[in-house]
Amino acid sequence: MNTAVTSSTLSTHGKEIRVAKVLDNYKLVLNIGSKNNVTIGQRFLIYGLSDDEILDPTTGDSLGYLELVRGTGAVTYMQETMCIIESDSTRTNLHRILEGPESIPFDSPFEGDLAREIQ
């Protein structure tokens, strides 16, 4: 999975990109839209943060919170202040070779999960 951050014209004005609503395991609403320069097909990584802060075992310094990846998705519908992304993660196994890859749902997404743009 390529999750490199892109350099784009996405304009959030410092606002965190978050899941505003879970429509189902394959579709999520994000709190950004056309006024933020979102485009159809634009891809996002969806993630939550661990409950516990991770500490360096040697120094005791905080390493921050672990990002719990829920999956990746692409924008399929957009309004001015929100957009819908659909999971674009796939799995291929021997049974699916002839039929094409199988879509994988997001892994337990929650309203309030974070998102960041990827390629």
Domains in the chain, CATH or no CATH each: 17-118 (2.40.10.410)
Residue of 83, 12, 81 whose CA lies nearest to 42: 83
pLDDT of residue 90: 83
pLDDT of residue 25: 95
Task: Average the pLDDT over 58-87 and give the result.
Answer: 97
SS3 content of the chain, % helix, strand, coil (to 5): 5, 45, 50
Task: Average the pLDDT over 79-94 and give the result.
Answer: 88
